[in-house]
Chains A and B, each alone.
Chain A
Amino acid sequence: MKILIIEDNERVARFLKKGLAEVGYTTDHADNGRDGMFLAVSETYDAIIMDRMLPGGIDGLGIIVALRKDGNQTPILILSALSEVDDRILGLKSGGDDYLVKPFSFGELLARLDAILRRSQELHADSTLTLGDLCMDRLTHKVTRGEKTVMLQPREFKLLEYLMRHANQVVTRTMLLENVWDYHFDPQTNVVDVHISKLRQKIDAGSATQLLRTIRNAGYMLTNDA
């Protein structure tokens, strides 16, 4: 995976480069809008991580609008210190694929980056999702684990569907809140954990392999790997 980082804060950029190198991604870095724009149009990247406020004449949103106008569909993750709901909406409307507010944890960033990378690969989702012996029919809303049928509430179904579509990928609590419940705020109590443990009971109870795992300091992952 080749990622372009457009970020003027040197420390944040270094942190991102190191972290992404750690998980095996190669990165290019531009510290201003002009260079970033040049790299984005002249090279091919799997994704772009872009700061919103940039020096160099063109800001993050300007680059995104220009790229999208040009037909460039590279997934873009916007990083910004602007946290208001309207800022987020503007960022996504301009053509960004996700919006992450600074300060952020690297785990959150990586999970979201993987999610948008995956999204661009699977534009046409199958009607049936499978992971090991866990099977979900998205049309009939039927879920089975091995021979056993799993009864799920509508919201639990949506939660599992999201996890299955992002199987083998870390999903954070915030991502679940935003995508399953459409809540863009931080509930004071960690309710998501309770939902996950309830779901885990339903799909993993009685099975030898635990599919739904908690990833410490990051979130959860639905995986069949040992």
Chain B
Amino acid sequence: MLRLKSLRFSALTVALGYIAVSVIVLLLFAAPIQYAWHEIVEERSTERLREDAHRLENVLRRDGPDALKAVIDTMVEAQPVDDEKFILLANPSLARVVGNLPAWPRDIPAASGTYTRSFDLNGRSVQAIFIRTTLPDGYNLVVGRNTAKFQTVETLFWVGLIGAATSVLVFGVLGGLLIRSALLSEIQEISQTAAAIVAGDLSRRLPRRGGANELDILAHTVNRMLEQIELLIQGIRNVSNSIAHDLRTPLTELRARLEELTVTRPPLEETFTEIDIAVADVDRVIAIFNALLRLAEIDNGARRSGFIPVDIAKVASDAVEFYQPLAELRGISLGFDVTGDAGECIAAGDPLLLAQAIGNLIDNALKYAPHKIRVFVRTAQQSEHAVTITVSDDGPGIPDQEKIKVVERFYRSDASRGTPGVGLGLSLVAAVTKLHGGSLILSDADPGLNATMVISQRPI
């Protein structure tokens, strides 16, 4: 369940990530607007105030204080106090001369300049921009504009932004939760199936919805993998059963023989004979083990590191020579042929294993052939660079339905029940050819069997 936990975590992380990204996008959107607002509205209104202050200063310079007072009065009449615009003219001691403010605001600094701040107006705090100018003859002028009106818009802007961010958050979390639960329900099915497989039910397969979404593709791949695993497990199971069976037989005989000795206590000479047979029984068990170990050694492919250039024709003719006396003894003609350029019979391989494989094929043929066995080594003329070694006999052959089975470990056809062997010979041949990048092909020779090892001639 650890996997599900981490998945839950990951689904949530993704949702949170999306939310964070959305908020960033929102901010990126809002920042220029905020900037433009500031630039256009605030800067422009400050500009207007500066112009006003400048104009009034000019009036004073040109027409004197009385004219200025008259102009300000006119402006104040049009702009009663409490409204958007403030204006106040004060004498050098900062006493009110004319304007729509009751007194010189205490918060205004002594120096000329532009100030944005809140100040106390008739007992209430007002957010405003002020421009303070010191006029000739010691007069002081302040013009200002209430920014509270803009503030509403600005507040609306921020409220809108936060609202948008909140809805992104809410929908993001909801979406994340929905995706997570949808994903979880699908994964849960997969995980349950996997758990059942772990528990031993190899026939289970992941559910598929027939679509082409990611999980379906994954399920398909995993199912194929499961099929392969089931096949392999089946194979191992068969082999273990066969091993158990094939070892049990000699072990049973051995046990019976030894137990019989202790029970009956026969004369010494007879005892030794029995012990000799018991040792032979043990040797049979050892032989089976050795064959299995050799197969395992070949199967893991490590032997390929020891590949050297091998003259296949030489290996095959040596094997033929080795079995020749046995064939003669049984009245079977054992022949050997090389077709194609003999010099091209070189392939990368393990001479020991190839000799054993060819030996096994000849040995098999000797068990069944009534008259003759021929061993051909051919360098293939096809596009593929390959050497084939064919051992053909004129025996009863192998029926088509058994051709695949005879290569299986421990398989013994009905026809071979009476002959010695443990049913690993052809398995070894198949494993050796596979190791050499080829395959073992069994075909009918009419009459008899052609067993062909295809060995790839790839460079080492």
Contact = CB atoms under 8 A, between A and B. Distances in A.
Interface string A175-195: 000000111111111010011
Contacts of A217: 276, 279
B165 interface: no
Nearest to A216: B276
Interface residues of B, number: 30
A83 interface: yes
A198 B325 contact: yes
A187 B318 CA distance: 14
Given A191-B325, A194-B325, A185 B352 contact: yes
Contacts of B286: 103
A195 B276 CA distance: 24
A81 to B, nearest CB: 10
Contacts of B323: 191
Nearest to B420: A188
Contacts of A23: none
Contacts of B322: 155, 181, 183, 187, 191, 195
Contact of A195 (B287, B290, B325): B325
B363 A188 contact: yes
B321 interface: yes
B40 interface: no
A194 B329 contact: yes
Contacts of A187: 322, 359, 363
A112 B326 CA distance: 26
A185 B425 CA distance: 12
A182 B276 CA distance: 29
A126 interface: no
Contacts of A83: 290, 293
A105 interface: yes
A189 B290 contact: no
B113 interface: no
A85 interface: yes
Contacts of B287: 186
A189 B356 contact: no
B356 to A, nearest CB: 4
A194 B334 CA distance: 15
B363 A185 contact: no
A84 interface: yes
A86 B303 CA distance: 8
Contact of A184 (B293, B352, B363): B352
Q: Of residues A86, A182, A183, which shows the largest number of chain B Cβ atoms within 10 Å of its Cβ?
A: A183
Nearest to B323: A191
B118 interface: no
Contacts of A191: 322-323, 325-326
Contacts of B31: none
Q: Is the interface of A mostly helix, strand, loop or mixed?
A: loop
B366 A183 contact: no
B418 interface: no
Interface in B270-318: 276, 279, 282-283, 286-287, 290, 293-294, 297, 302-303, 306, 318
B207 interface: no
Nearest to A188: B363
B102 interface: no
B325 A186 contact: no
A186 B363 contact: no
Contacts of B325: 191, 194-195, 197-198
B421 interface: yes
A185 B363 CA distance: 13
B129 interface: no
A184 B290 CA distance: 12
B89 interface: no
A85 B290 contact: no
Contact of A189 (B321, B352, B366): B366
B318 to A, nearest CB: 7
Contact of B297 (A84, A155, A186): A84
A155 B321 contact: yes
A180 B100 CA distance: 129
Given A83-B290, A105-B279, A185 B356 contact: yes
A189 B363 contact: yes
Interface in A45-87: 83-86
Given A155-B322, A185-B355, A189-B326, 6 more contacts: A181-B318, A183-B352, A185-B294, A185-B352, A187-B322, A189-B420
Interface of B: 276, 279, 282-283, 286-287, 290, 293-294, 297, 302-303, 306, 318, 321-323, 325-326, 329, 352, 355-356, 359-360, 363, 366, 420-421, 425
- Shortest 7 CB-CB contacts between residues of A and residues of B: A194-B325, A185-B356, A194-B326, A198-B325, A84-B297, A191-B326, A188-B363
